[in-house]
Amino acid sequence: MKKRRIFISVILFICLVLGVSYPIIMNHLVVDEKPVKSDVIIVPEGQEYIRASKASEMLHEGYSRSDKIIISPMVDTNAEIYEEFGVEFEQIIPETEATSTYENAVHTLEIMEENGFDSAIVTSSDYHMLRTKMIYERVNRDYDFELTFVAAYQVVDGELVTWDEAGNELKEVAKKEFWKYWGYLLGLYHFIDV
């Protein structure tokens, strides 16, 4: 009987924590710092048009001292999208191994070290930025690079909007970030591809 009460108490506590944390996490998904001139721009890709658009825009505005973008992972379809935005093949540093945001961070920061870079702008979809910032900062403990986190917003009817104003489909994608954020918070990326 006592074990059952403890079990029920633990379940209720977990439900309470998740219930209280849901609006907090969802209201803070967007991390958007002002871009600063850095050695390179990093894009943890999900083959999303808006990530390529934002990275290319910052590249053309001179925010990358090296005039390079690290794309992780780089696939054929990414190259075509970046080419549409006027990014030359020589301006891309491809990373081809990553299968998760954690691996994006591990591999791109290794590339930064190999190239002698000290700073980077990390850009991703607005709803993906809270988790992106958390994992990049964790992995960056081994390097101490200067990282700036800049969100790429959704385009709806020619206007830039946040994920929660971009329609139901994107809201469903963003809701998954709640669970992924908890997975990353608990370090599950060491065991499963989150």
DSSP class of residue 67? Answer: S
What does the pLDDT read at residue 72? 92
Q: Which helix (H) or strand (E) holds 22?
A: helix 2-26
The one-letter amino acid at 165: E
Q: Tell me the per-residue pLDDT of 19-68, one tens digit each, with 9 for 90 and over.
A: 788 888 888 999 999 999 999 999 998 667 899 999 999 999 999 999 99
The rounded average pLDDT for each run of 10 residues, N- to C-terminus, in the chain (194 residues) is 74 76 89 97 84 95 97 86 92 93 96 97 95 96 97 88 88 91 90 78
Q: How far apart are CA 167 and CA 169, in angstroms?
A: 6
What does the pLDDT read at residue 46? 65
What does the pLDDT read at residue 47? 62
**In this structure, are residues 171 and 29 in contact, taking their beta carbons and an 8 Å threshold?**
no
CB-CB neighbours of 57 under 10 Å: 17
